[in-house]
Amino acid sequence: MNGRVALITGASSGIGRATAEAFAAKGTSVVVAARREEDLASLVTEIEARGGKATAVKTDVSATKDVEHMVAHAIETFGRLDYAVNNAGIEGRFAGITDLAEEDWDRVVNINLRGVFLCLKYEARAILNCGKGGAIVNVGSINSFLGFASGSAYVASKHGLIGLTTSVSAELAPHGIRVNLVCPGIIDTPMHHRARKLLGDEVYDTAVLPSIHLRRAGRPEEIAQSIVFLCSDEASYITGTTLTPDGGFTLTV
């Protein structure tokens, strides 16, 4: 992967940040995108301090112009695009279906599903134009399979990524571009901390943790390694599928 270029959305924290660091460690130049510019700047500084190459671009993935600019920035800076990781996402507001406001639904779906569609559209164009093939990984969730009360917007947006991924995989495979979906379980990220606070420590410790075979939350770098693997040549025969690094959670529920 040395000398190639990867674009990662939602790179300011959690899984996205760990993924950018994992790519950079393999000699891949990275383009990191998110809405929080200060966090992106610190990530670029850290990668460059280790001898890597990185550039940041402020991006709202639900905005077409932002996504188009993000991909153009990658090409202008590094001259090519080989890998893309569509990780940006939010949990939004949890509410029962009779109380969920339309604007709350729209905000979640616009970022988590429409945002991935927009990223795929412009990333695929760029990779195709480079003519060297590549790989794209979308980041879903165990809630791409499992629903939960009051989470309809989040769950629907993550379910949608399965159909989007398999369809785009079928389109791009003849051009040497593989597209896969990673569905992490409970991972030690800021989003996870917010969910734990909402549930309460007692519920988390007595109901959630015992459902994980490994009896712990995953680490962002563990998910990053799964993503990098799917982009690597070692995964050359894997496309249109879902990898679920969840510590065994979905085998219990």
Question: Residue 99: CB partners within 8 Å, gap ≥ 6?
Answer: none
Q: Are 210 and 204 in contact (CB under 8 A)?
A: no
Encoded tokens for 125: 């164009």
> For position 193, what pLDDT does the model report?
83
Determine contact, residues 161/242, Cβ cutoff 8 Å.
Answer: no
For residue 156, the model assigns a pLDDT of 98
Three-class SS of residue 187? Answer: strand
The more confident residue out of 74 and 194 is 74
Q: What is the pLDDT of residue 50?
A: 97
Q: What is the pLDDT of residues 114-131, one digit of tens each?
A: 999 999 999 999 999 999
Please give the positions annotated as active site.
154
Encode pLDDT of 31-56 as tens digits: 999 999 999 999 999 999 999 999 99
* Containing structural domain, residue 158: 5-252
One-letter amino acid of 80:
R
Position 253 scores a pLDDT of 54
Total domains in the chain come to 1
Q: Tens digits of per-residue pLDDT, 179-194?
A: 999 999 999 998 878 8
**Digit-coded pLDDT (tens) for 204-249:** 888 888 999 999 999 999 999 999 999 999 999 999 999 999 999 9
Rg (CA), the chain: 17
Give the range among 24-38, 127-141, 196-210 with minimum mean pLDDT. 196-210
* Measured distance CA(108)–CA(130) in Å, rounded: 32
Q: For residue 142, what are the β-bridge partners?
A: none
What is the C-alpha separation between 14 and 109, in angstroms, rounded? 20
pLDDT of residue 251: 78
Q: Are 83 and 26 in contact (CB under 8 A)?
A: no
Neighbours of 73 (CB within 10 A): 18
CA gap 232, 125 in Å, rounded: 20
Per-residue HEC secondary structure of 137-183 comes to EEECCHHHCCCCCCCHHHHHHHHHHHHHHHHHHHHHHHHCEEEEEEC
User: Which pLDDT score, from 0 to 100, does residue 71 have?
Assistant: 98
Residue 2 has pLDDT above 80, yes or no: yes
pLDDT at 70 over 80: yes
3-state secondary structure of 130: helix
Q: Is the pLDDT of residue 147 over 70?
A: yes
Shortest CA distance to 226 belongs to which of 202, 208, 244, 248? 244
CATH of the domain at 148: 3.40.50.720
Long-range contacts of the stretch 45-48 (C-beta < 8 A, 24+)? 46/21, 47/20, 47/21
CA distance 157 to 238: 24
Smallest Cα–Cα separation from 183: which of 15, 59, 46? 15
Task: State the pLDDT confidence band at 62, using cuts at 50, 70 and 90.
Answer: very high
